[in-house]
Structure formats: structure tokens, C-alpha cells
């Protein structure tokens, strides 16, 4: 039984160290040659995470879902006067940043993104 205890402690510490979504994030990405640059701010009330993302001077309400090890955030957009829905699906890396894919509907385009938290707490 002794070998299991250190593994359990390590697993529990890893879970407790999981980064949190609420805060400010800088998102960079690419959708079929078009750059994506936006700033998002997320807040949490009870078990609901919401916020907004600003891109090209426009602010879009954003919803956030945590599913297994993925962070999914969705907001509107616009391209040539056509309404869009952008869905970002990412996972955390070892530095607490997110990276993953972007789906653009109804156009059916996809791309990739990285997101860095801009208000990381300072180490004490």
C-alpha cells in the first residue's frame, strides 16, 4: 500500500493546482490565414462562468463551459456583415495557458489559438 500513497498525494496536488478560468486573457490565433487577436475577461458566480471578449473594437458576450479537461468559450462575431459564432475549445498546458481549436459557424472554418492569462497571481 505504501507506493500508492505518494501517487495519490501527487494526483491530489495536481488537481488542486489546476488553473482557473476567471480573469483576463489575451487570445491569439489564426483562422485560415485571418489573425485572431482579442482580450477576454471572465467572471464566476457559483458554478456559472461568463464574461466578454473584445476584438476589433467590438465587445461580445461570452459563455464558458468546463467539460472534462477542456475549456470551451463561445461568443459572437461578424465577417462582411454576416453574424458568426466562434467556439474556442482548449486545454491547459503546464504553464496554465490554453491552446486549442477555433470553429467558426456557419462558415464551417476552423483554426487554432493560444490564450495567456494576463492577471496571473504573483508567487508568494
Q: Has residue 8 been placed in a domain? A: no
Q: Has residue 54 been placed in a domain? A: yes
Q: Has residue 66 been placed in a domain? A: yes
Total tally of structural domains belonging to the chain: 1
Q: Has residue 2 been placed in a domain? A: no
Taking Cα atoms as reference points, which of 64, 94, 89, 59 lies closest to residue 77? 59
pTM of the model: 0.80
For the chain, how many residues are written?
124
Cβ atoms of 85 and 77 within 8 Å: the answer is: yes
Residue 77 belongs to domain with CATH number: 2.40.128.120
The model's pLDDT over 53-91, given as tens digits with 9 standing for 90+, comes to: 999 899 999 999 998 889 999 999 998 899 999 999 999
Q: Has residue 109 been placed in a domain? A: yes
- Domain assignment of residue 78, given as a range: 19-117
Residue located via cell numbers 472534462: 68
The model's pLDDT over 18-55, given as tens digits with 9 standing for 90+, comes to: 568 899 999 999 999 999 999 999 999 888 999 999 99
Q: Has residue 103 been placed in a domain? A: yes
Amino acid at each position: 500500500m505504501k507506493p500508492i500513497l505518494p501517487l495519490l498525494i501527487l494526483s491530489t496536488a495536481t488537481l488542486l493546482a489546476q488553473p482557473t478560468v476567471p480573469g483576463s486573457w489575451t487570445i491569439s490565433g489564426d483562422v485560415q490565414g485571418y489573425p485572431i487577436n482579442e482580450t477576454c475577461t471572465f467572471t464566476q458566480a457559483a458554478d456559472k462562468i461568463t464574461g466578454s471578449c473584445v476584438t476589433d473594437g467590438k465587445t461580445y458576450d461570452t459563455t464558458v463551459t468546463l467539460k472534462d479537461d477542456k475549456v470551451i468559450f463561445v461568443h459572437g462575431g461578424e465577417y462582411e456583415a454576416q453574424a458568426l459564432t466562434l467556439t474556442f475549445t482548449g486545454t491547459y498546458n503546464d504553464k496554465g495557458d490554453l491552446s486549442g481549436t477555433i470553429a467558426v459557424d456557419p462558415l464551417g472554418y476552423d483554426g487554432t489559438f493560444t490564450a495567456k492569462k494576463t492577471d496571473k497571481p504573483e508567487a508568494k
